[in-house]
Every structure is written in structure tokens, then in C-alpha cells.
Amino acid sequence: MCAAGAPEAAALIAAGLTEGSSITHPGQGTANRRFFFENAYVELVWVSDAEEAQREPAARTRLWERWSKRGQGACPFGLVFRSAGGSASPEPPFPTWSYHPPYSEVAIDIGRGTPLREPELIYFRFPRRPDALRGEPTAHALPLKTLTALSVGVPGSAARSETARAAEATGLVEFPPDDDYVMTLTFDGAAHHRTKDLRPDLPLVLSW
């Protein structure tokens, strides 16, 4: 979650990333700016229509609360996972409820029972289309190619929700305690032993 228009994107651009396409979400009241990699992307999201964001069905997602309270204790992060397809099970790896976005014919699974102090957890049951990233820039001045590890520091020592624990059990993400919210994205196994800390502009650390 970021300020309207995502001026925070300037920090990613200054770090050497090339911006991709942006989209809006009619009926949900949000918009984004995106930066793509070979197997993932970073999405900076803001509420562009407060009325839509606070009206059902979008209201139940708590996008409005996460955005409007992002500097008041609400975790600003959402993590979106996707089925790998093939022989992999399409079932979500954590408890979910089904959200039908007004802008899409496809339902999205959203983690059940996560408090606002934890990241939102989202799951797409369908694999990414082979042509989904066609035309999107995935080459950057920084040698960031494949996302290989993800960590989200969460303030406090309170026990994680059942949903967060289930997500951690997959091995795809870790939620270590930290002094403040911070996301660390590790690319290509951190083979270069380099990091780029984008704070205070963005609560994001890049490792490669």
C-alpha cells in the first residue's frame, strides 16, 4: 500500500528497476503501478475511489482499512501466491474465503482470519498464462531475475494467525519479528551478496 499515485515508485526507479504497465480495478476502487521479474512482480497499490473501496464486495477485503491505516499500525503488505499448475494442487495452502472482484470473472481466495497487523494473504487457483508477461520489462539495471525468497518483518511478538502459520509452513515466506514492517525480496539465491535498502522511501529491501 502506498500514497495516491504511488510516488514511492521513484525509489524503485532510482534503484535501477524498469517500471511496467499499470492498471485500475473498477468496482474495487484501487489502482497500481508494477515492476516485473521473471516469476513475480512488485505492485504498489493505492485507493483511487474511497466510496468503491468501502462498498461491498470490496469492503470485506479491508483494502480501505489497510490503505487508510497503513501508518497507524496496519500492515501495508499483501502477498499473492499462485498455483504452479501441472500436477500441483490448486487448493490454497492456508484457510481462505472467496472474493469475486467486480472487475474480474475469476474468484480470488483471500486468507481467513488475518489481523490487520499481519500481511494480507491472497491465492490464485489458476496458473499464470504463458503469455501473461509478454511486453512487460523484466530486465533491470540491477541484476534481479528470479525471486527465490521472501521475508516480511512484523512488529511485536504476538503469536501469528493460523493462516500466517500455514503460509510459513509452505516455505515460501517467513514472518520474523522486527522493529517495523519491512519486506525483503531475495533474488537468484543472493548469489552476488548485495543488498539495496529502500527505506525510508519504501519499507523494502532488495537482496541479490
Question: Which grid cell sits at 165?
Answer: 502459520
What integer pLDDT is reported at residue 22 of this predicted model? 97
Per-residue pLDDT for 128 more than 90? no
Average pLDDT, rounded, for the chain:
94
Average pLDDT over residues 84-103: 86
Percent of the chain scoring above 70 in pLDDT:
98
Q: What is the largest CA-CA distance in the chain?
A: 46
Question: What is the residue-wise DSSP string for 47-115?
Answer: ES-HHHHTSTTGGGGTHHHHHHTTTTT----EEEEE---TTS--S-SS-EEEE--TT-SS-EEEESS--
H or E segment and range at residue 169: helix 162-169
Per-residue pLDDT for 66 more than 80? yes
Stronger pLDDT, 59 or 128, i.e. the higher one: 59
Residues 119, 77 contacting (CB under 8 angstroms): yes
Residues 32, 44 contacting (CB under 8 angstroms): yes
Question: What region, left, alpha or beta, does residue 193 occupy, with left being phi > 0 and alpha being psi -120 to 50 degrees?
Answer: left
**What single-letter DSSP state applies at residue 160?**
P
CA angle 35/39/40 to nearest 5° reads: 40
What integer pLDDT is reported at residue 24 of this predicted model? 97
What integer pLDDT is reported at residue 87 of this predicted model? 58
Per-residue pLDDT for 181 more than 90? yes
Average pLDDT over residues 65-72: 96
Per-residue model confidence as pLDDT tens digits over 10-46 = 999 999 999 999 999 999 999 999 999 999 999 999 9
Which residue(s) pair with 110 in the sheet?
A: 97, 122
Per-residue pLDDT for 125 more than 80? yes
**What single-letter DSSP state applies at residue 177?**
E
What integer pLDDT is reported at residue 197 of this predicted model? 98
Question: Which grid cell sits at 167?
Answer: 503460509
Average pLDDT over residues 174-182: 96
What integer pLDDT is reported at residue 39 of this predicted model? 93
Q: Which residues contact 128 (CB under 8 A, 6 or more apart)?
A: 82, 85
Residues 6, 32 contacting (CB under 8 angstroms): yes
Tell which residue, 17, 5, 3, has the closest CA to residue 198: 17
How many Å apart are CA 203 and CA 179, to the nearest integer? 12
Of the pLDDT bands very low, low, confident and very high (cuts 50, 70, 90), residue 129 is confident
Percent of the chain scoring above 90 in pLDDT:
88
Average pLDDT over residues 51-79: 97
